[in-house]
């Protein structure tokens, strides 16, 4: 049975900050709004393929390449940059700040673990007013391995100096939950992106429709 975490590691994009505001930027660039989901899925697919084959590139390069390959009409460099400029301006989900405060009051340490850049994540945390509650902003750029490769989760464990099973990865992506579980971490899955957790993945220790429910579930685990 999973134990109450000493540290919670938050995924960032979609878990804490929704991508929905980017949709309007795509429309402003002359693209259909539904391109958002295809673009982000292509971005992740391409990144996973490169890392699985032994390579590495940062988030921004995959974002540009995937946007060019999925766009319904060719995009100028300025249009692409206008779309990407939306990432540092994302606002948090409404449940984020209360959940962070709940963990803080319970004495649980918090970090972020993202496939994006540390600089962009830090800007988002400051924008949301929770930067002081997050003790470390960890990025795949640190070790040049994207989630769900085990090395990035173990990097988070090493950075917090606690046993893997006392670190809980909280994410809205089932593949991220699976990766963390395989690396020995506890897991909390927010089901707001996917209707059902895929049976091919290792099941999360805690599941909930929102961040508050997942946080409460993690805090209720035996210590």
pLDDT profile of the chain (223 residues), mean per 10: 96 98 98 98 97 96 98 97 97 98 98 97 98 98 97 98 98 98 98 94 98 98 95
Q: What's the distance, Cα to Cα, between the start and end of the chain in Å?
A: 10
Instruction: Return the pLDDT at 214.
Output: 98
Q: Is 182 exposed, middle or buried (0-12, 13-18, 19+ CB in 10 A)?
A: middle
Instruction: Return the pLDDT at 24.
Output: 98
Instruction: Return the pLDDT at 52.
Output: 95
104 Cβ neighbours under 8 A, 6+ residues apart:
110, 133
CA distance 142 to 155: 9
This prediction has a pTM of 0.96
Instruction: Return the pLDDT at 27.
Output: 98
Q: What is the 3-state secondary structure (H, E, C) of 30-87?
A: CCCCCHHHHHHHHHHHHHHHHHHCCCCCCHHHHHHHHHHHHCCCCCCHHHHHHHHCCH
Instruction: Return the pLDDT at 49.
Output: 97
Instruction: Return the pLDDT at 197.
Output: 98
Instruction: Return the pLDDT at 195.
Output: 84
């Amino acid at each position: 049975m999973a134990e109450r975490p000493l540290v919670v590691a938050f995924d960032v994009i979609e878990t804490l900050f929704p991508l929905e505001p980017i949709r309007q930027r795509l429309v402003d660039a002359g693209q259909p709004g539904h391109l958002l989901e295809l673009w982000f899925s292509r971005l992740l697919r391409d990144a996973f393929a490169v890392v699985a084959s032994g390579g590495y590139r940062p988030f921004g390069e995959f974002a540009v390449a995937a946007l060019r390959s999925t766009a319904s009409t060719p995009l100028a460099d300025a249009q692409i940059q206008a779309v990407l400029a939306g990432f540092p301006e994302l606002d948090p989900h409404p449940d984020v700040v209360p959940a962070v405060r709940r963990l803080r009051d319970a004495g649980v340490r918090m970090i972020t673990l993202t496939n994006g850049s540390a600089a962009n994540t830090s800007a988002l945390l400051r924008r949301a007013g929770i930067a002081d509650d997050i003790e470390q902003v960890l990025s795949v750029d640190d070790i040049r391995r994207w989630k769900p490769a085990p090395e990035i989760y173990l990097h988070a464990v090493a950075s917090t100096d606690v046993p893997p099973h006392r670190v809980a990865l909280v994410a809205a992506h089932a593949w991220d939950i699976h990766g963390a579980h395989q690396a020995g971490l506890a897991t909390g899955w927010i089901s707001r992106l996917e209707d059902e957790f895929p049976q091919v993945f290792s099941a999360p220790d805690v599941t909930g429709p929102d961040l508050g429910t997942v946080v409460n579930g993690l805090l209720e685990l035996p210590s």
